[in-house]
Chains A and B, each alone.
Chain A
């Protein structure tokens, strides 16, 4: 053994590991974008595919094993052997919470341990409700919360801040300054910032949720991980059986409670037993034990300390809630007629199956090069919040692009070939003749026809005499939609030059995923 002075403390290794995984996560986040070819080069959605909470919920909701999510079993298997290393070393949300600790230096310790049960309640509820038809896991999954917050708010905000700065230096600064700043901006734009400024629905709400998760550390260190995170709950259940574990403290330690003091998860009890279900292997206790008693070793036997479990009664109540809650869903008006403004991405499964699989990760919205996909609010019901919808006036679905299906970790949006995509109808356009210039005012326009991307244009025009606002009869080209050719991409709605509401609007009518559908209960 080298001398203690030269030894690198284990927390340095842990921080290094966390930083490495976090950097990897950010790398994949940035790479969730068009890269110059139709196919993405990296498996940018891998983070979601190793998440067993999302995997189980999607499997239960779909009543089938989705092969894309099988890597989640690896996480589960490793947790079964080593415990909750995932929470302490891999999880980017955990790293972010650890990294933001300087914001909350006075976090209280030992908040009521009863709170720990919350994550199990949540877990059981989510699993059962997913099975019973109310899929909500994406609401609270740490990765979904994180990626949504970053995609919708943090990344655009960073872009805005830096672009404002470099716009100022560019427009007001002297040449010598620009010689320095412009290359920096170019590099940032190429490698870090979104290619074009992006906007997102629910951006502020998502950033507030992310801030709240981090801000919970004000109550207690890693409050979210200890008490709320249902993924942590699932891993905790499995970690109870892990044979490798930190241990070594005992009553022989006397009054020293250094390990308890440094434990960020509150996993160590008065007798210095370390609960496998709570320990995230941060190794601080091992590092800071003055007597060097604590080691990470094979024990082979069941964990001596049982974690704070939930009572049988609470378990039954949770499971019952999970089964009963979905029963109210058919009472909504949505059950009779879907919201026609809710346009799903191309390749989206039929609505019920889609909602079951969608984990609200925001990947499709991050990758959407038309900035067309946005988080739904209540258009798809309570269980549809944060699911993707096309907002034609904000962005449009690029005709030859298939990226959303490529990043979807669960196949809620199928991976389509370009020719399949061309044949997939996500909606249909309608003209508002009271607003459309050639109809309403006798003014030439047909920008919609120009942009309509189908080789045989779905928007065509006919020349008609119209009386304009000066009372003159003029011949203008009036656009109209050929239903059989329109695929609902929304470029017409997007490019309509009217300054307010578009004169051509896409609705979900005719979408191919519900071929022959005429309203669930309609006539």
Chain B
């Protein structure tokens, strides 16, 4: 290497250290899907692994959402350093069964991740989700910690409160995005359900979204569009959410909800807490933006 080449290389690499701008392009128009039908499936049972297949059956099974060769993202709530019975995170058996279903439908890749609130490794381990996914022992499925290089700024053209936010590339750049929140209490938004769970694919200072949380979540729902929402209400946290910690606050309900309509899923899940759908600002805001149905009379509930 001569001096000239050396200096050129140095410039190149130091530019890489400081000036690198992500060059992914994801057009908002590609993200806008047609309005899904307001169909909701409800299943109850104690065998959570079997319950996943059961709740999907009335919607046409997983095959209706995952096609052979698809890249699938499963986004559970792994936000907290809490154990499964504390009900702060999605139940590991539900996540595992869902991943198994996606594999069965012929998915080429299944990716599981969440941007956590507590320390990431502790959350992945103590939620039981990392172990559950590893137990599948299939090369096509991976549970990953968030890679900060993958947050890309996305324009939110339909947003009323937000115009742009950094979103995890894999959540947008996949064939099937499956949202698997756990239903639980939340101090500010009263409940955290599907729309709130989308915050796990966001970069940036997420805390600042709380200043107008309901509308912000609805705005984000215009670009983060799960094909399928499965709400884990196998046990629900009634107080001291979103992380709980006291088993006295947990109620066992053995319920799963599934819908292609993210607003309908959230709206119906609200009733499990004896609340009306419009008690949750994000549900209301998303409904007003035409992102889904919240009128319980118009949601067709199929009991599996």
Contacts and interface: CB of A to CB of B under 8 A. Distances in A.
B188 A369 contact: no
A497 B207 CA distance: 5
Contact of A400 (B122, B145, B211): B122
Interface in A344-375: 369-370
Interface string B121-133: 1100110000000
A282 B85 CA distance: 59
B245 A444 contact: no
B21 interface: yes
Interface string A400-413: 11000000000000
A35 to B, nearest CB: 9
Interface in B101-123: 117-122
Contacts of A370: 119
Interface in A32-63: 34, 36-37
Given A36-B125, A449-B188, A450-B187, A398 B211 contact: no
Contacts of A37: 125
B122 to A, nearest CB: 7
B160 interface: no
Interface stretch (A22-30, A166-174, A325-333, A385-393): A166-174
Interface stretch (A10-18, A101-109, A240-248, A455-463): A455-463
B101 to A, nearest CB: 27
Nearest to A459: B187
Contacts of B246: 455-456
A455 B81 contact: no
A495 interface: yes
B210 A497 contact: yes
B13 A168 contact: yes
Contacts, number: 104
A483 B76 CA distance: 34
> What size tier do the contact residues of chain A reach?
35 or more
A465 B20 CA distance: 47
B5 interface: no
Contacts of B16: 164-165, 167-169, 172
Interface in B164-214: 186-188, 205-208, 210-213
A444 B122 contact: no
Contacts of B120: 195-196
Given A443-B211, A445-B210, A447-B210, A369 B119 contact: yes
Interface in B233-256: 240, 242-246, 249
Contacts of B119: 34, 369-370, 398, 401
A496 B207 CA distance: 7
Interface in A142-172: 161, 164-165, 167-172
A497 B205 CA distance: 7
Contacts of B126: 400
Contacts of B205: 497, 499
Nearest to B207: A497
A444 B188 CA distance: 8
B24 to A, nearest CB: 8
Contact of B211 (A161, A445, A450, A457): A445
A370 B207 CA distance: 18
Contact of A455 (B13, B17, B242, B244): B244
Contact of B121 (A36, A170, A453, A457): A36
Residue from the set B20, B23, B207 with the largest chain A CB neighbour count within 10 Å: B207
B149 interface: yes
B207 A495 contact: yes
A455 B240 contact: yes
Contact of B210 (A168, A196, A444, A453): A444
A278 B216 CA distance: 70
B245 A453 contact: yes
Contacts of A165: 13, 16-17
B22 interface: yes
B208 A497 contact: yes
A377 interface: no
A447 B118 contact: no
Interface string B10-29: 00010111101111000000
**5 closest pairs, A vs B, by CB?**
A168-B16, A497-B207, A455-B245, A164-B17, A455-B246
Given A36-B125, A457-B240, 15 more contacts: A165-B13, A167-B149, A168-B15, A171-B149, A196-B120, A369-B121, A400-B126, A401-B119, A437-B211, A444-B213, A446-B210, A447-B207, A451-B243, A453-B243, A477-B187
22 contacts: A34-B121, A164-B18, A167-B20, A167-B149, A168-B13, A168-B15, A170-B149, A171-B20, A195-B121, A196-B120, A370-B119, A437-B211, A444-B188, A444-B210, A449-B187, A453-B118, A455-B240, A455-B244, A456-B240, A456-B246, A495-B117, A497-B207
Interface of B: 13, 15-18, 20-23, 81, 117-122, 125-126, 145, 149, 186-188, 205-208, 210-213, 240, 242-246, 249
Interface of A: 34, 36-37, 161, 164-165, 167-172, 195-196, 369-370, 398-401, 437, 443-447, 449-451, 453-457, 461, 477, 495-497, 499
